[in-house]
Amino acid sequence: MVQTDVLIAGAGPTGLVLALWLTRSGVKVRIVDKTDAAGTTSRALAVQARTLELYRQLDLTDEVLGQGHKVPGINLWVRGKRQTHVSFADFAGDITPYGPFIFPQDQHERLLMARLEKLGVSVERRTELVSYNQEDDGVVAELRGPSGEVATCETRYLAGCDGASSTVRHAIGTGFPGGTYQHVFYVADVEASGPAMDGELHVDLDEADFLAVFPMKGQNKARLVGTVRDEREHRDQFKFSDISDRAIRNMKLTVNKVNWFSTYHVHHRVTDQFRDRRVFLLGDAAHVHSPAGGQGMNTGIGDAINLAWKLSAVIARKAAEKLLDSYELERMPFARKLVATTDRAFTLATAEGRLADFVRTRIVPAVVPTLFSFAAVRKYMFRAVSQATLEYRDSPLSRGVAGSVRGGDRLPWAPILGADNFDSLSGPQWQVHIYGAASKDISAWCGRHGMPLHQYAWHDRHAAVGFAKDALYLIRPDAYVALADPEQLPDRLDRYLTEQEISL
């Protein structure tokens, strides 16, 4: 019988990020996956700005940026012509250091596994979670290994990162309400030529099959992502030749080589619960949605980071068990909102009928350039897609308001006079930020408690991003504001930590 702190079922990006954060925090983990090897194909492509921000705490951001491709802009095609171009050059603005970025899931997984292996943890392949039983102080899991033998693993917690058909979710018995889009969805890794191979994102809006061309790092490389919207969707078998027809010709795209091709149906669902005592659901095991906006993989990674710092604190006895209650309270509302939003966007892109075609081919290309000529619209859209708007204001962990920053908000980015406040996010830890001057009492409190204190000379730009002068912001290990206090009162820090049953 093997004992561990956390057993992770599923070695996609969600499970790997969870394992990496926990391992770096000194938590003993096992991560198992029923597949023979890591995937060599992928549907998920986009890495959003919020994920890159969070990756700074795992020292992953620079490596992801070095291996992926920054997307300069998007182009909308109608009837064989490039009708609309929107540059992403100033989309991020003063929101974040990072813009739209492509780093495919298969490469992403290899990077995460390599980092994990450096820490002495390897994915146990061809090993499947068969069943489990919860006890008062842990979980007893049955694992079927490569030779078919079944072994027992005792673990304090079980994390189900095992995909949309999750064994863990089925064992919990929770519902998975939602639906399935009728169209067949496909992705093809290709080498191609033509005007759509310029390193930007290209989308065809014609009455033909929906098609998006995602640029990849490397010359003439791209991923084609789209749907089939006619009688072909009922075929049992698909080949690339079945879809390489009108939409591809509309973009004047010449496909010279198809490296791989796959089809699947897309679902939109959110489970009824993310936690059952010592068992948690993350990523596709908890929520699946359309590919609109490139949110799926990023949301699973967000689940992992949200849960990881809380599990680490509880296992290290630096927080009470009740801290784990906030995982479901924080992540479920976001997942539900995201599924509803991406469902509307995907429905618009793939809907059939004369009205839908008119909206796509006439209204959208005409309206989009006008809308995106306004800085406020660009900023709003980028914040939404990048997940920079994700906040936990209704969480039991969130307290106070100072300026326009509230407890539960993402820490605003403020690179001013050579002092970038995100530089402090080099590791997952509690810390205090003050934009202005720290009082002697607060400096002494931080010193007594070993709390990192970061002071930034006040500047008008701090007010522009929402900070209040001389206010105190207690930052969680996942870079969200836990407490905002305009008066810098040490008693409020003490009260917050006491109420949350958190020790430093």
What is the per-residue pLDDT for 424? 95
CA distances from 113 to 39, 68, 106, 469 (A): 12, 17, 11, 43
Strands 201-204 and 73-78 turn out to be parallel
Q: CA 222, 224, 226 angle in degrees (round to 5)?
A: 160
Does the pLDDT value for residue 445 go beyond 70? Answer: yes
Closest Cα partner for 61 from 95, 98, 96, 94? 98
What is the per-residue pLDDT for 347? 62
- Segment 170-192, tens digit of pLDDT: 999 999 988 777 777 888 999 99
List, edge to edge, every strand of the sheet that includes 287-288: 81-87, 73-78, 201-204, 211-215, 221-228, 178-193, 254-270, 287-288
Averaged pLDDT score across all residues of the chain = 90
- Segment 235-254, tens digit of pLDDT: 567 788 777 577 788 888 99
Q: Would you list the DSSP string of 221-236?
A: EEEEEEEE-SGGGG-S
Cβ neighbours around 486 below 10 Å, total:
14
Q: Are 207 and 350 in contact (CB under 8 A)?
A: no
Distance CA 195, CA 199 (A): 10
Domains by residue range for the chain, with CATH = 2-68+103-176+271-341 (3.50.50.60), 69-98+179-268+353-390 (3.30.9.10), 399-500 (3.40.30.120)
More confident residue, 358 or 446: 446
Distance CA 177, CA 169 (A): 13
Q: Indicate whether this model's pTM tops 0.75.
A: yes
What is the per-residue pLDDT for 378? 78
* Three-state DSSP state, 199: coil
Supply φ then ψ for residue 70, to 5 degrees. Answer: -80, 130
Q: Which helix (H) or strand (E) holds 27?
A: none
Strands 2-9 and 29-33 turn out to be parallel
Average pLDDT over residues 364-372: 73
Would you report the helix, strand and coil content of the chain in percent, each value rounded to 5?
35, 30, 35
Identify the weakest region by mean pLDDT among 115-124, 354-363, 410-419, 423-432: 354-363
Average pLDDT over residues 46-61: 94
- Segment 199-208, tens digit of pLDDT: 999 988 776 5
CA distances from 84 to 204, 247, 351, 370 (A): 11, 17, 20, 10
- DSSP code, position 424: G
What is the per-residue pLDDT for 352? 64
What is the per-residue pLDDT for 112? 97
